[in-house]
Amino acid sequence: MIGDWLKRVGVLAAVLLLSSCYIPDKFKSELRLSKYGDYSLTFKGDLLWAPILDDYRKGKITPENEPEKIANIKKDLSRDIAVRKIDSRGRGRFTVEYERTGRLERVQLIALLRRDARLLAMRSMENGAIAIHANAMKPSDAQIMAEMGLNMEGEFRITTDANVVEHNATEVRPFGKAKVYIWKVENPLSPMPHLVMLREDDPGRPLNARASESN
């Protein structure tokens, strides 16, 4: 039984290295996005560092080196200045609080966490569209997670007063002149958030036409 579990851990670490190294769990995340492109993005929940599972499987984690391994993951998370709080819960799991605000330029990519560890991407385009898309997990990866007793659950919301032309939200609620789009993530196979809106020009604050990418 233990041998089978360790084998699955190794497979999980290998496949997830191909996508994102962090698995979100027990989270609540919200994006407030105005029709002009002003945004406020928050995340509170757990992040699991998948590659360390392979180190546990191979016996590379010992009482002597585990503190350093955990410290290195914490250091990696802290590279994003929007990460406000990081608490280790052991075995590669961290409780994280993230908060970022700003205004999207005419052409820009914003990522949670970073472009090389992306859980959620927010992209503005020259044609005025803004697309929000979360990484989806392959069914084979999700099956391995389920066999190991690992899960990925939480809730993501987008509150916006913009003209939304495409979305796959679980639920939509009115909120004054805006709407709240809600995704209930119950497991790794749940539909990942996807929404496209059309930006309006703000006469008081002209957009910078420079294209850019941002962590």
- Rounded CA separation 113/80 (Å): 7
**Average pLDDT per 10 consecutive residues for the chain, totaling 215 residues:** 37 38 91 96 92 76 91 91 93 93 93 77 94 83 68 94 97 97 91 94 70 60
User: In this predicted structure, what is the pLDDT of residue 9?
Assistant: 35
SS3 assignment, position 63:
coil
Find the distance separating the first CA and the last CA of the chain, reported in whole Å: 42
Phi, psi at residue 5, to the nearest 5°? -60, -45
Q: pLDDT value at position 51?
A: 77
Per-residue model confidence (pLDDT) at position 42? 96
Greatest CA separation for the chain = 65
Confidence at residue 100, expressed as pLDDT on a 0 to 100 scale: 95
Per-residue DSSP letter, 207? P
Assigned token pair, 17: 């290295």
What's the pLDDT at 128? Answer: 94
Report the pLDDT value the prediction gives residue 49, as an integer from 0 to 100.
84
What tokens were used for 29?
């995340």
**How confident is the model at residue 6, as a pLDDT?**
34
92: left (phi over 0), alpha (psi -120 to 50) or beta: left
Q: Where are the domains of the chain?
A: 2-214
From the list 72, 53, 62, the residue with the least C-alpha distance to 8 is: 53
What pLDDT is stored for residue 215 in this prediction?
A: 64
User: In terms of Cα–Cα distance, which of 191, 199, 190 is closest to 168?
Assistant: 191
